[in-house]
Amino acid sequence: MVPTAAALNFVGRATWEALSHHPVATDVFTDAHEVPHVAIGRRADLVVVAPATADLLAKAAHGLADDLLTNTLLTARCPVLFAPAMHTEMWEHPATADNVALLRRRGATVLEPGVGRLTGSDTGKGRLPEPAEIARIAELLLHLGHGLPADLVGRHVVVTAGGTREALDPVRFLGNRSSGRQGFDLASVAAARGARVTLLAANVEAPPPAGTEVVNVISAEALREATHTAAKDADVVIMAAAVADFRPATVVEHKIKKSDADPEPLVLIRNPDILAELVEAKREGRLSALLVGFAAETGDAEADVISHGRAKLARKGCDLLVVNAVGEGKAFGQPDNAAVILGADGSETDIPLGPKTVLAAAICDAIVIRLTS
């Protein structure tokens, strides 16, 4: 831990030392015989600056080195992650915007700040991203060994996440086990790579990733409407949501009462396939977005998971299909995922079991290749 002198005004030295089990210093002259201003940066596999103030971003962008942290930033050759926190005016100031752009061009990963309550009574953009999100991106950078490229700048990426709920009555629904984790990680990584992200979230408990515009929906029909609206000017639509294929034919207006009589059989009708509608719109020239589908598959007596995936890609007509095996504790609600990314061009990319952010980064790689070719 390398606090700045300003950080010690918020969290005292004793807390830093007790939590890290190390003495902490803010200047380069403490323990000078160990040359800490060079040693810490050289030893690091990852540097995370959280919170990164406007002042710190400016110093980092211009290579100033007047304390231990800024010296460490100059000597580190590992990935560097900045999680900004400041007031809205400071984040939006052209000086900060230029500094952030410069840092990103140099390969540093600068997260977009969140929107919400700030240090004073004001609210707005500038909130420190959620610690869990900073940790997930930090884990991704350690895994990759390099920063995230700013290769989605100027692109509008729409991500659907979570699982739809189809109402039976005012309190009951048919749903599924999707946690929304994969979709949220996709949104988070796309935003960190510079995209404008619209996140259509169906019943996801996790806090939304910073720097994304979130639209909450419940049912497949609501998701359908939100997706078609957001897709109009999208460069990419990623359908990571688990959309219910069927819904109850009728929604009972009042709570269904418990009675001694046998329950009525449940009649289901088919939901529209949103992805298929997007493919159709693209064929008719009403949409230009790259379309990415997901297929959660289990093998069966007829074919394995990948063969089912290939058949689904052909049937769905999207540009990329991310195929993962589900069941027996795999994928749904788990932090890790393994998948194969199938391309309509015949490509096949295997992503071994790892954090969902790593799969998200690989999906973004596949997207960028297609957007730029």
Phi, psi of 220 (to 5 degrees): -60, -40
Lookup: tokens for 204: 């996801």
Distances (CA, A) of 261 to 171, 251, 257, 264: 21, 20, 11, 9
Pick the binder of ligand C5P from 273, 281, 355, 365 (CB under 6 A): 273
271 near ligand C5P, rule: CB under 6 A? yes
| CA geometry: angle 270, 274, 278, nearest 5 deg | 140
Shortest distance (Å) from residue 28 CB to ligand C5P: 52
Pick the binder of ligand C5P from 108, 138, 141, 243 (CB under 6 A): 243
Nearer of residues 241 and 287 to ligand C5P, judged by Cβ = 241
Lookup: tokens for 255: 């709570």
Angle of the 305-316 helix axis to the 274-283 helix axis, nearest 10:
50
Structure-derived torsion over alpha carbons of residues 37, 43, 47, 49, reported in degrees to the nearest 10:
-30
Shortest distance (Å) from residue 267 CB to ligand C5P: 18
b/e burial code for range 153-164 (CB count within 10 A of at least 16 → b): eebbbbbbbbbb
**162-221 binders of ligand C5P (CB under 6 A):** 220
| CA geometry: angle 82, 84, 89, nearest 5 deg | 145
226 near ligand C5P, rule: CB under 6 A? no
- Which range touches ligand C5P (CB under 6 A), out of 44-52, 71-79, 84-92, 287-295? 287-295
For residue 217, give the nearest of 209, 207, 225 by alpha carbon: 225
Structure-derived torsion over alpha carbons of residues 299, 301, 304, 309, reported in degrees to the nearest 10:
-70
Catalytic residue list: 176
Asked if residues 198 and 221 have their Cβ atoms less than 8 Å apart, the reply is no
241 near ligand C5P, rule: CB under 6 A? yes
Shortest distance (Å) from residue 344 CB to ligand C5P: 14
Query: β-strands 290-297, 236-239: how paired?
Result: parallel
User: Strand, coil or helix: what is 17?
Assistant: helix
Shortest distance (Å) from residue 241 CB to ligand C5P: 5
User: Strand, coil or helix: what is 184?
Assistant: helix
274 near ligand C5P, rule: CB under 6 A? yes
Query: β-strands 80-84, 47-52: how paired?
Result: parallel
Nearer of residues 27 and 246 to ligand C5P, judged by Cβ = 246
367 near ligand C5P, rule: CB under 6 A? no
- Which range touches ligand C5P (CB under 6 A), out of 45-53, 124-132, 143-151, 266-274? 266-274
Shortest distance (Å) from residue 223 CB to ligand C5P: 8
Q: Mark 123-162 with x for binding to ligand C5P (rule: CB under 6 A) and - for no binding.
A: ----------------------------------------
Asked if residues 81 and 109 have their Cβ atoms less than 8 Å apart, the reply is yes
Q: Tell me the number of residues near ligand C5P by CB under 6 A.
A: 12
Shortest distance (Å) from residue 217 CB to ligand C5P: 13
Shortest distance (Å) from residue 242 CB to ligand C5P: 7
Nearer of residues 139 and 273 to ligand C5P, judged by Cβ = 273
List CB contacts of 194: < 8 A, sequence separation 6 or more.
104, 150, 151, 152, 153, 154, 155
Pick the binder of ligand C5P from 239, 279, 325, 360 (CB under 6 A): 239
Pick the binder of ligand C5P from 17, 45, 98, 245 (CB under 6 A): 245
- Which range touches ligand C5P (CB under 6 A), out of 71-79, 115-123, 179-187, 269-277? 269-277
Q: Mark 290-309 with x for binding to ligand C5P (rule: CB under 6 A) and - for no binding.
A: ---xxx--------------
Residues engaged in binding ligand C5P (CB under 6 A)? 220, 239, 241, 243, 245, 271, 273-275, 293-295
